[in-house]
Every structure is written in C-alpha cells, then in structure tokens.
Amino acid sequence: MEKVVITEKKDGIFEVKLNRPDIRNAIDEDVMDQFKQFMTFVKSNKHVKAAVIIGEGQQAFCSGGDLSVFHQLKTKDEAYKMLSKMGTILYEWMMLPVPTFAVLNGTAVGGGCEIATACDFRIAKKGIKIGFIQGTLAITTGWGGASMLLKKLPYDKALTMLMSAKRYSSEEAFELGFVSKIVAENNFYQESYQYIRETIRSNKEVLRAYKQIKISEWEKGLKQKMMQEIDRCAELWEKEEHLQAVKQFLNS
C-alpha cells in the first residue's frame, strides 16, 4: 500500500493524501521522500494551481512522527538528522509558489500540527482536536513549527498554543486564527474543496504573484530560525525527561 497517494483534481489542484490510517497517518522517512518528490514536481510544472494535504480515514489528519521508528533515536545527532530533514521539507513546502491547503479530516497534533502550519490555509472538520502537544513529551516543536506559527499568528496567540501543549477544538483553533474554515462532518470533503476553489478563483499567474509577496518576506531568515529551533529540540530529545515521556506514552 502506498504511504502517500497523489491525485490530480480538477483545475490544476493536486491532493497529497497521507495513507497510513492504521497509525494515524504518521510520518516516516518514506513519507518524507515522497513529499520531496511531489514538491519537485510542483516547482517544475506551471499548470499546478494549488496543493492540498489531507489524511486518510476519519480519525486523524496526522499524528506527527512515527514513534515506533523515531523513539529509537537517542542522541542529539540522531534526532537532529531526522528533525532537520522534515524541517527542511516543511520550509520548502511553505515556499511553494502555489497556495497550499491543509484539510484536517481528523486529529492534527504534534508534528501533524506543524505540517498544517506550513500550509497557507487550514480547513478543519468540526469537533476535531488540534494542538502542539510536544511539550507533553518534554520537547519543543521539532520541525520548525514554532518559527512558522510565529509568522502566521499574533505573538500571544502563537505562544499560547505552543506553551500550553493543549489539544484545542477546531472551534477554539478558529477563534485563535489558526483555522481558516470549519466544515461540518456531513459532506466534509466536498465542502472543503468548494472552499478551496472559491479561494483560488484567480488565474494561476495571479495566485503565484500574490504568494511570491509572502515568500519574499519568508526568505529573509525563516529557514535559519527553523534550524535553530530544530537544534534546540534535538538537545532536549536526548535528555532523560523526553526519553521517559516517550516510553510512558508508548506504554499507555
């Protein structure tokens, strides 16, 4: 079974579906590599109008990193290698020349919330949970999520989401400004795509021109900030508090 399914929709919209519902669409090295391949495709194809990320199933958009793999990483260097790879991917996703949408079909926590942050728009199913829960594992965001979030939300609201490590309802996340649109469970997929198409009514050149305005701002230091954030997470990764928190989580 393919871990990532890429589908071309109408009007130049491409969907990237995380296809690991049995483990809540968690991210491993294979998924990272397929993300990279897709981004290469987008950058080289002018007919792409928008890119959409969604999770398979009804339960989870993405739970973050695949802990069955990543909990084997014990040292700072081991952690940094993995974290910086995904952090670079999310930076490049932010810099894609087309508008990007996270369609949160289910829970988006931890690294899944960081993936959603990298997108320009976040559409959430009513009643799901969203949160930067990394603090409960005694680490910070590890893929650059804090640096990205601080670019997109007012400072106090971003810091609240990060420091509280709380699981917010989609309605609460909407009030904070993290979620762009809430859609009811009935006809969720169809209504989400209706919102996407309404948002990108302009032609491709106009969409890319507007996106480039923001990219030009992000190019000035964002990647360096993300890598510094990731380095700090890697330092915390090898500490006993994190290793014990992960062990407790896996045994719960």
By DSSP bridging, strand 168-169 and strand 129-131 are antiparallel
pLDDT, tens only, 107-166: 999 999 999 999 999 999 999 999 999 999 999 999 999 999 999 999 999 999 999 999
Name residue, tokens 């230091």. Answer: 221
- Find the distance separating the first CA and the last CA of the chain, reported in whole Å: 28
Q: Is the pTM of this model over 0.95?
A: yes
Convert the pLDDT of each residue in 241-251 to its tens digit: 998 888 887 77
Domains in the chain with CATH codes: 4-199 (3.90.226.10)
Percent of the chain with pLDDT over 90: 92
Give the pLDDT band (50/70/90) at residue 1. confident
Looking at residues 3-31, what average pLDDT do you find?
96
User: How far out from the chain centre does Cα 46 lie?
Assistant: 24
CA distance 206 to 33: 30
- The contacts of residue 231 (CB under 8 Å, 6+ apart) are 80
Instruction: Give the separation between CA 127 and CA 107, rounded to whole angstroms.
Output: 9
* Average of per-residue pLDDT values in the chain: 96
What's the pLDDT band for 193 if we cut at 50, 70, 90?
very high
User: Mean pLDDT over residues 67-83, rounded?
Assistant: 90
Q: What's the pLDDT at 40? A: 97
Given a cut of 90, is residue 97 above it in pLDDT?
Answer: yes
The DSSP annotation for the chain comes to --SEEEEE-GGGEEEEEE--GGGTT-B-HHHHHHHHHHHHHHHT-TT--EEEEEESSSSEEE-SB-HHHHTT--SHHHHHHHHHHHHHHHHHHHT-SS-EEEEE-SEEETHHHHHHHHSSEEEEETT-EEE-GGGGGT---SSSHHHHHHHHS-HHHHHHHHHH---EEHHHHHHHTS-SEEE-STTHHHHHHHHHHHHT-S-HHHHHHHHHHHHHHHTTTHHHHHHHHHHHHHHHHTSHHHHHHHHHHHH-
The whole-number pLDDT of residue 39 equals 97
Does residue 14 register a pLDDT over 80?
yes
Out of 61-70, 116-125, 222-231, pick the least confident: 61-70
What's the Cα-to-Cα distance from 118 to each of 18, 32, 204, 246, rounded to whole Å? 15, 14, 20, 25
Looking at the predicted structure, is the pLDDT value of residue 179 above 80? yes
Per-residue model confidence (pLDDT) at position 67? 81
Confidence at residue 249, expressed as pLDDT on a 0 to 100 scale:
77
Cα separation, 172 vs 150, in Å, equals: 18
Contact 196, 50 (CB under 8 A): yes
Q: How many whole angstroms separate alpha carbon 226 and alpha carbon 83?
A: 10
